[in-house]
Amino acid sequence: MTIRTSTGNAAPTGTTHPATTRRLLLLAALAGPAFYLSSLLQALTRPGFDIRIHPLSQLATGDLGWIQVLSFVIAGLGGLALAAGYRRIRPDGFGRRWAPLLIAGFGLGFILAGLFPMDPQNGFPVGAPEGTVPLSWHAIVHVSAAAVSFLSLAVACILLVVRSVRRRRAAASIGHGVVALVLLLPTSPTESSIQIALTGLVAFTWVAVMAIRLRADA
């Protein structure tokens, strides 16, 4: 979609509010690093946490769980900011409608996953039952929201592979394709907590790179 300038030339929608768009994309670029910095500090300082056993999501349990809940929400807002920035900067071409919607789905899923935490289990937080426990309703919401979040981003990446191929951008198409494959890999039953952490790291690295690239065009 375009607008008409005073000289009669067409300008992309994203150029109507460049400062706002750049701020949105800055938030998107910083959201992932903020989430992983927060998670790393908590993983190193909270008693009983072991990344080999406990997924980062489990940091949202216990007295200090609100810190990880907030981290999830901020990270999800970063996904929404990227979706808004993408829609403004890429208003035409293949995937112009579905790509930002799917990226927004990634962000919303992350917010929901944070607001509905997992159950205390496997000895974390300290005093929690050893071993796994039956999933509560909020844990089911958490797992479902996280799955939908990563699936939405994977489909968005697939759309961007097609877009990049059409524009003959080999490096971009390969990058989007690799991210999609990582997001769609089945979870290992023995190394699930580490795999999920690495999958999220890949996802938010992609978000940061996309935000920086779009911000350069804003």
Residue 42: give the domain boundaries.
18-217
Question: pTM for the full model?
Answer: 0.88
User: Is 83 contained in some domain?
Assistant: yes
pLDDT at 16: 57
Confidence at residue 187, expressed as pLDDT on a 0 to 100 scale = 86
Average pLDDT over residues 100-115: 97
pLDDT at 14 over 60: no
Q: Burial of 101 by CB count in 10 Å (0-12 exposed, 13-18 middle, 19+ buried)?
A: middle
How many domains would you assign to the chain?
1
Please give the mean pLDDT across all residues of the chain.
90
* pLDDT-above-90 percentage for the chain: 82
Q: Residue 4 above 50 pLDDT?
A: no
Count Cβ atoms below 10 Å from residue 20 Cβ, excluding itself.
14
Mean pLDDT for 22-49 is 96
Given a cut of 90, whether residue 123 has pLDDT beyond it is yes
Assigned domain for 10 exists: no
Peptide bond into 125 cis (omega under 30): yes
Task: Look at 44 and 17; give whichever has higher pLDDT.
Answer: 44
In a domain, residue 113? The reply is yes
Assigned domain for 8 exists: no
Strand, helix or coil for residue 36 = helix
Segment 44-65 shows an average pLDDT of 95
Query: Is 165 among the domain residues?
Result: yes
Banded model confidence at residue 93, pLDDT cuts 50, 70, 90:
confident
